[in-house]
């Protein structure tokens, strides 16, 4: 090897000796990009719903705190206001936890559905690529056999 060897030309020649069908790679890339888009959509939708739920929960809590913090006529009214606030917060927390769980369950179901569909797509892409490669190898072998005769 000399300092002036053109490695780009050598690599081009080497890769030219091993022809590849880039359509299979293009199809796999497109399938992966589509899957990523769909998974991102599921995640962003869940984040949006979770954020809205959290914001509403915060607004409700602040509103109830404003009611609780108002001056009362009797000392017992403070205890009642605190008790009412705690009861309301327990109910809201339970309802919101259930809603968060529903959001998570939907994300899980959508993700499994997308992955199953993607697995099917990848399988079809791989089968098509193997079938084409087998046909190409068979054709090349036949040409080599014919040329040898």
Q: What is the tally of structural domains in the chain?
A: 1
- Is 85 within 8 Å of 65 (Cβ atoms)? yes
Q: Is residue 12 part of a domain?
A: no
Q: Which domain holds residue 116?
A: 39-146
pLDDT at residue 117, rounded to an integer: 87
Within-domain flag for 15: no
Please give the model's pTM, rounded to 2 decimal places: 0.66
Residue 59 lies in a domain: yes
- The whole-number pLDDT of residue 74 equals 92
Is 114 domain-assigned? Answer: yes
- Residue 6 lies inside a defined structural domain of this protein: no
Rounded to 10 degrees, the C-alpha dihedral 22/24/27/28 comes to -110
Residue ranges of the chain with per-residue pLDDT less than 70: 1-4, 16-21, 141, 144, 147-149
For residue 39, give every residue at least 6 positions away whose Cβ sits within 8 Å of its Cβ, in sequence order, or none.
111, 114
User: How much is the pLDDT for 86?
Assistant: 95
Q: Of 52, 54, 86, nearest to 68 (Cα)?
A: 86
What is d(CA 87, CA 77) in angstroms, rounded to the nearest whole number? 15
How far apart are the C-alpha atoms of 136 and 133, rounded to whole Å? 5
- For residue 26, being part of any structural domain is answered with no
Instruction: Give residue 148's pLDDT.
Output: 63
Q: Is 22 within the bounds of a domain?
A: no
């Amino acid at each position: 090897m000399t300092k002036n060897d053109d490695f780009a030309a050598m690599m081009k020649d080497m890769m030219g000796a091993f022809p590849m069908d880039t359509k299979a790679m293009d199809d796999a890339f497109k399938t992966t990009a589509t899957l990523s888009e769909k998974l991102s959509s599921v995640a962003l939708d869940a984040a949006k719903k979770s954020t809205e739920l959290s914001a509403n929960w915060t607004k409700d809590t602040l509103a109830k705190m404003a009611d609780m913090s108002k001056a009362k006529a009797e000392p017992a009214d403070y205890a009642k206001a605190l008790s009412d606030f705690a009861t309301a917060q327990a109910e809201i927390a339970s309802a919101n936890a259930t809603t968060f769980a529903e959001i998570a369950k939907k994300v899980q179901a959508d993700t499994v559905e997308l992955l199953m569909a993607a697995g099917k797509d990848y399988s079809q892409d791989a089968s098509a690529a193997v079938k084409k490669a087998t046909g190409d190898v068979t054709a090349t072998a036949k040409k080599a056999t014919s040329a040898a005769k």
